[in-house]
């Protein structure tokens, strides 16, 4: 499929916000928000489903990367094709930029992006865009002339070590300037690149984007990191978050944007310094939570320890991400019931900002790719009644402190929010008769989804919970 290359509007001296943004000042992000990761949904598909997304209680919808990208396998639209398949293609081609302008053959055009944002505004949903300034396509010869010219020539687009594969992942110079997985490392400290990239980001904001997820964020250097020989300052993050200008151009509306980075945890990762600029992914907590699902019980450490040095109010939490699902299918064996139970637990909690990853439509534990088409809507789990109930519970419990208790050998978890409500989650695959302390006042309580009743008497809650099922109770 041929890509139509679209011209950027002039963003230098004039800020042109969409009509929707001009009618009301956007609200600053809050911790009560929930993100739907509409993974590989086309822009048109997201737009067509925004009513359902809003009614399901999501505050944000996160798109896949929308910049111009490498056209792989003849432009085939399979999520992941195998030899002999009738349709070719791979989902990850949109993670291989060839230019930073809105629109690619996999997800849609700049006009499609604007139409989606207009629809999101109508339904009160904010748009997060997955952005990736760290690298270009593996085939760097596919980079388009406008990008090369903007940085003063192709050689200026990359770090000096940009084509040297990383071998020591915990070495900060290698990690932030070397080639990762065959992807050449962009010189994100080049002021010419920063200026060009900011035009792309500001164009997204002008069309209605209200947040960004930074892919491979830990591979972009911090001010304290060692310098690539072609750089004089590691100042990408001050520029990208609106603290500094690049050649006179600044990020639009920095105080109204929600920005978080994929800073996967490992040795020698400077989480606290990254958190000076953006929220971070709680990848280690997600890993521990998946282990708990496989054991059918939630250990006490997951109730109190977020496995992260940063305050939990600054974390994006998930049960799984698109990487854990797709890369070696590390989480893809978990059933939808298991994912749902753990997501309700995360969403019922006071802190963190939960993200629900939309699995492919038709996917099973034997067929992870399901219907295997880029652009299609994911399965219906994003609007499952238990997920919807948890999303709405999170909003209703604004400001209420959490108290978490476990019962039945840690198989059942209760998240109380003050005395205003509680979520019950059965992590096991067996039915459990529970009897555990609660902060709910005495009385009869009815689950918001199933109608199941629970009794609270003298500070103890009793009832029966079905296998891998969740319950939302209000005072």
Active site residue ranges: 215, 262
Residues 108-128, buried b or exposed e (16+ Cβ, 10 A)?
A: bbbebbbbbbbbbbebebbbb
CA distance 93 to 68: 10
Identify the CA nearest to 328 among candidates 80, 65, 42, 130: 80
Which stretch of DSSP H or E encloses residue 357? strand 353-357
Helices (H), 327-414: 336-348, 385-396
CA distance 53 to 65: 19
Pairing of strands 315-318, 353-357: parallel
Residue 214 · residue 262 · CB < 8 Å: yes
Residues found in the chain: 475
SS3 category, 277: coil
Residue 379 · residue 40 · CB < 8 Å: no
Residue 316 · residue 352 · CB < 8 Å: yes
CA distance 424 to 9: 51
What's phi and psi for 61, nearest 5 deg? -120, 130
CA distance 270 to 274: 6
Q: Which two tokens stand for residue 27?
A: 């609200």
Strand-pairing partners, residue 443, are 456
Q: How many CB atoms lie within 10 A of CB 68?
A: 27
CA distance 220 to 232: 14
Residues 6+ positions from 200 with CB-CB distance below 8 Å: 8, 67, 100, 101, 102
Residues 6+ positions from 145 with CB-CB distance below 8 Å: none
Identify the CA nearest to 237 among candidates 255, 251, 258: 251
CA distance 89 to 281: 28
């Amino acid at each position: 499929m041929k890509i139509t290359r679209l011209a950027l509007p002039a963003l230098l001296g004039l800020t042109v916000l969409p009509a929707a943004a001009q009618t009301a000042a956007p609200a600053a992000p809050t911790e009560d928000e929930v993100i739907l990761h509409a993974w590989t949904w086309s822009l048109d598909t997201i737009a067509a489903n925004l009513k359902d997304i809003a009614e399901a209680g999501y505050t944000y919808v996160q798109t896949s990367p929308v910049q111009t990208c490498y056209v792989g396998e003849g432009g085939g639209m399979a999520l992941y094709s195998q030899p002999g398949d009738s349709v070719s293609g791979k989902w990850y081609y949109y993670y291989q930029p060839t230019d930073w302008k809105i629109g690619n053959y996999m997800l849609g055009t700049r006009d499609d992006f604007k139409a989606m944002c207009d629809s999101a505004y109508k339904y009160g949903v904010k748009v997060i865009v997955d952005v990736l300034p760290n690298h270009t396509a593996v085939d760097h010869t596919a980079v388009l002339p406008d990008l090369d010219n903007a940085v003063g020539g192709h050689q200026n687009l990359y770090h000096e070590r940009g084509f040297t594969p990383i071998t020591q992942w915990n070495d900060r110079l290698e990690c932030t300037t070397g080639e990762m997985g065959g992807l050449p490392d962009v010189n994100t400290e080049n002021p010419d690149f920063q200026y060009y990239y900011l035009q792309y980001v500001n164009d997204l904001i002008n069309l209605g984007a209200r947040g960004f997820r930074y892919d491979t964020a830990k591979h972009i250097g911090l001010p304290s990191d060692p310098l690539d020989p072609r750089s004089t300052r590691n100042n990408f993050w001050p520029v990208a978050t609106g603290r500094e200008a690049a050649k006179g151009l600044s990020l639009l509306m920095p105080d109204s944007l929600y920005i978080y980075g994929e800073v996967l945890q490992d040795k020698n990762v400077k989480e606290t310094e990254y958190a000076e600029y953006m929220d971070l992914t709680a990848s280690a907590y997600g890993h521990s939570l998946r282990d708990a699902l496989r054991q059918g019980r939630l250990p006490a450490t997951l109730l109190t320890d977020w496995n992260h040095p940063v305050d939990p109010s600054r974390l994006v939490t998930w049960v799984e991400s698109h990487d854990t699902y797709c890369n070696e299918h590390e989480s893809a064996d978990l059933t939808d019931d298991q994912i749902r139970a753990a997501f309700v637990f995360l969403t019922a909690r006071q802190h963190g900002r939960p993200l629900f990853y939309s699995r492919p439509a038709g996917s099973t534990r034997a067929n992870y790719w399901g219907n295997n088409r880029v652009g299609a809507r994911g399965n219906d789990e994003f609007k499952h009644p238990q997920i919807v109930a948890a999303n709405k519970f999170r909003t209703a419990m604004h400001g209420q402190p959490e108290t978490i208790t476990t019962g039945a050998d840690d198989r059942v978890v209760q998240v109380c929010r003050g005395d205003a409500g509680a979520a019950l989650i059965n992590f096991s695959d067996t039915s459990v008769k529970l009897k555990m302390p609660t902060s709910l006042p005495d009385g009869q309580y009815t689950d918001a989804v199933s109608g199941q009743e629970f009794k609270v008497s003298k500070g103890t809650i009793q009832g029966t919970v079905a296998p891998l099922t969740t319950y939302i109770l209000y005072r």
